[in-house]
Structure 1
Amino acid sequence: MKIRTLLAATLFTLALILAVIGVAGIYGIHSTNDALASASENVPTVMAVLAQQEDIARARLQLDRVTAGQAVASATTLASATALISESDRAWTSYTAFPAGDDEKRLAADVAHARDNLLNKGIEPLMSALKSSDTQSSSALAYVTLPKLYATFSDATAKLSQFQAEDSARLVQEGIAREQKTMLLTISVTLLGVLCAVASWVILRNAISKPLAAATEHFGAIEAGNLTSQIVIARDDELGGLLRSLAKMQGSLRDTVMTIRTGVDHVADAADEIASGNGDLSKRTEEQAASLRGDSGEHGRADRDGKTDGG
């Protein structure tokens, strides 16, 4: 694999991991926000259900006090009970405006039915009996009819409130589960990124650092005059091309040195031959000079002898 391809693949892998980490983080934030939003949407519905029950309970308490003779059945007392019933109606209307699932709608329908029975068959007849001072009817309604109707209403409301609490808890747990999944995913991808970074370092070290160190070592050997070190080429990338060029340069330098050395040897041999020839020539020259000197001496003596004889 080419080094530029390896670098591109490494950078692309790291960029992809960073992108996955970013997407995982965004997904986790979005999922957690959705879960929190769903849980927060349950708060107004829970408050509305509790408010409508509390207002009815307060209205019933006032009517029970009047029935028991603890309060006067004045217009103010009955008007206060009526106002509480109106507040309960508004709270219930606000609850029904919120979206709900099928299970919650079924429980809400039970509450609505029990609530209507409580109002239409218990509280309103009791208020009418109190207004008309019908003690017998008000007592029967307050102590017999109303408790049964209120118990049914209270049970239905408790079931609805319990469902809302469980649904809110479920939403919170879903949010926690999503957060944990996102955290696990983020940690996993981060660890994968670290492993990829380490693997990339090892791969790039083997692909670049080691070959460069080997090439530097060969350059140092050549600089020191060692042209016999073996250059091993086991790759086909840019650094492999560099090592091949280095091997060729080493071979060329070795051939050049051998050529120069051979030439020097030839010159030395020729010089030796010239020196030997010069020696022989000098010897022969000396011998000839000596021979000439000898001949000259003999001729000189002969001449002297001749002159002596003539005299």
Structure 2
Amino acid sequence: MRGKLKLPQLKVRTSLILVLVFFLFMLVTGAAVGVYSLHANNQSLTRVVQMQRAHAVIGEAVDHYKNVQSLLGQALASYIVSKDKQKTADATAAAADADGSASPLGSDASGYINEARKELVRSQVAFKNFQALTKDMGDTDEWYRRTSDAYLDLTKNGVKPLIDMLEKGKVDDYETFLSSTASYMADNLKLALNNLNMYQQDTIDGTYERQVQIYMWVIRAVAAAMLVAVLIALLAYVFLGRMVLRPLRLAGGHFDRIAGGDLTQRVEVKTRNEIGVLYESLKRMQESLTRTVTTVRSGVEEITLGSREIFMG
């Protein structure tokens, strides 16, 4: 039918090009699948590494905060011991302690507080690194923001007031603020960190499961592609055998019979491709030889007939 591709009319060149194009397509597809797999693995690895770095720096910030807590506790203990030793101080010094105009702390307590301030600065530096790492990370559930808010609230509204109170010797205010507001802020940060850790672990688990699924998908795709390639190779072998090899063998048989003087075998032209052109040429050659042989036979018969007539007189 017109408008439809008929395999017998398909040219050998076209068929070979189609086979090469298919295998090129399979090669490009395989490379694309490999690149996609590598890209997915790289994205997952990058996300996991970012989470690990963020976990490390926020952990560093919390560790420095814990050092601040420890140093403040040591400063408080040192202050209490120092205060007990100064119970016999004069009324002027006691008034200065009550008024807070002069520092009531001993050298040891002051050293602890200064070190606590340094640890707080180190904690804030680590927290800034945490903010920089999580700035471009996906935070659809806002766990990173909640952790940041909890940390900033604790350091600005919790730790700094504690340091100021202790530095001024306001032990009662320090203990009251520590047991109420500061403790609540610390618990809030702890809860935010726990939620962030669970979120990160869930994300890592989900990433691992997706990578397993991608790996299995790639394995299935490669296996299917190999099966299709083998099938197409077999079909190409059968197709080329029918379109090229078998017609060439038949053409060779025709040539052998013609060479042996057999011009009776009919040459059929079934295609219009390169093989069909060969068969048409073979057919024309056979027809030409047949006409030549017929002419020669007619001439021989006429010569024989003329010779007989001459012989008979």
Q: TM-score, normalised by structure 1?
A: 0.72
Q: Corresponding residue for 1:3?
A: 12
Q: Counterpart of 1:46 in 2: which secondary structure? A: helix
Q: Does 1:167 align with 2:176?
A: no
How far residue 31 of structure 1 moved from its aligned partner, in angstroms, is 3.7
TM-superposition CA deviations, 1:183-234 (whole Å, max 9, x none): 5545544544444343333322221111111000111111122222232322
User: How far apart, in 1, do the equivalents of 2:68 and 2:220 lie?
Assistant: 53
* Cα distance in 2, alignment partners of residues 264 and 183 from structure 1: 77
The question of whether the paired residues in 1 share the 8 Å contact of 2:150 and 2:185 is answered with yes
CA contact (8 A) 2:165 2:174 kept: yes
Pick the aligned partner of 1:12 from 14, 21, 24.
Answer: 21
CA distance 1:265–1:45, shift in 2 (3 Å): same
Alignment of 1:202-281 (within 5 A): 202-272=238-308, 274-275=310-311
Change (3 A) 1:68 1:250: same
Q: Report the 3-state secondary structure (helix = DSSP H, G, I; strand = E; otherwise coil) of the residue aligned with 2:271.
A: coil
- State the Cα distance separating 1:171 from its structure 2 match: 4.2
Q: Which residue number in structure 2 is paired with residue 80 of structure 1?
A: 115
Task: Find the counterpart in structure 1 of residue 84 from structure 2.
Answer: none
Aligned to 1:226, the other structure's residue is in SS state coil
Q: What is the alpha-carbon distance in structure 2 between the residues aligned to residue 264 and residue 71 of structure 1?
A: 145
Alignment of 1:136-147 (within 5 A): 136-142=172-178, 146-147=182-183
**Counterpart secondary structure, 2:27:** helix
- Please name the residue that 2:127 is paired with: 92
Question: After the TM superposition, which of the residue ranges 257-266 and 198-207 deviates more from structure 2?
Answer: 257-266
Contact (CA 8 Å) 2:68, 2:117: kept in 1 or not? yes
Distance in 1, Cα, partners of 2:45 & 2:144? 23
Corresponding residue of 2:47: 38
**1:101-147 residue CA offsets vs partner (Å, 9 max, x unmatched):** 4435x334433443344335543344344434455444445556544
Measured against aligned partners, the alpha-carbon deviations of 1:33-72 in whole angstroms (never above 9, x if no partner) come to 3333333333322222222222212322333355467997
CA RMSD, aligned part only?
3.4
Contact 1:67 1:138 in 2 (8 A): no
Distance 2:306 2:128 in 1: 125
Percent of aligned pairs sharing the same letter: 23
- CA shift for structure 1 position 168: 3.9
State whether structure 2 residue 60 is matched by structure 1 residue 51: yes
Which residue type is aligned with residue 13 of structure 1? F
| CA distance in 2: counterparts of 1:70 and 1:25, whole angstroms | 67
Cα separation, 1, equivalents of 2:112 and 2:163? 10
Q: What is aligned with 1:25?
A: 34
Q: Which amino acid aligns with 1:230?
A: R
Distance 1:201 1:71 in 2: 96
CA distance in 2, matches of 1:264, 1:228: 20
Superposed, 1:118-137 pairs within 5 Å as 118-120=154-156, 122-137=158-173
Q: Choose 150-159 or 59-68, whichever is displaced more.
A: 59-68
- Where in structure 1 are there 5+ consecutive unaligned residues? 278-311
- 2:146 corresponds to: 110
Please, what TM-score do these two structures have when normalized by structure 2? Answer: 0.72
**268-277 vs 214-223, which moves further:** 268-277
Which one has the largest radius of gyration?
Answer: 1
Alignment coverage as a number of residue pairs: 276
| Residue 151, structure 1, aligned to residue 160, structure 2 | no
How many Å separate the matches in 1 of 2:152 and 2:159?
Answer: 10
Give the letter aligned to residue 83 of structure 1.
Answer: K
Change (3 A) 1:65 1:201: same
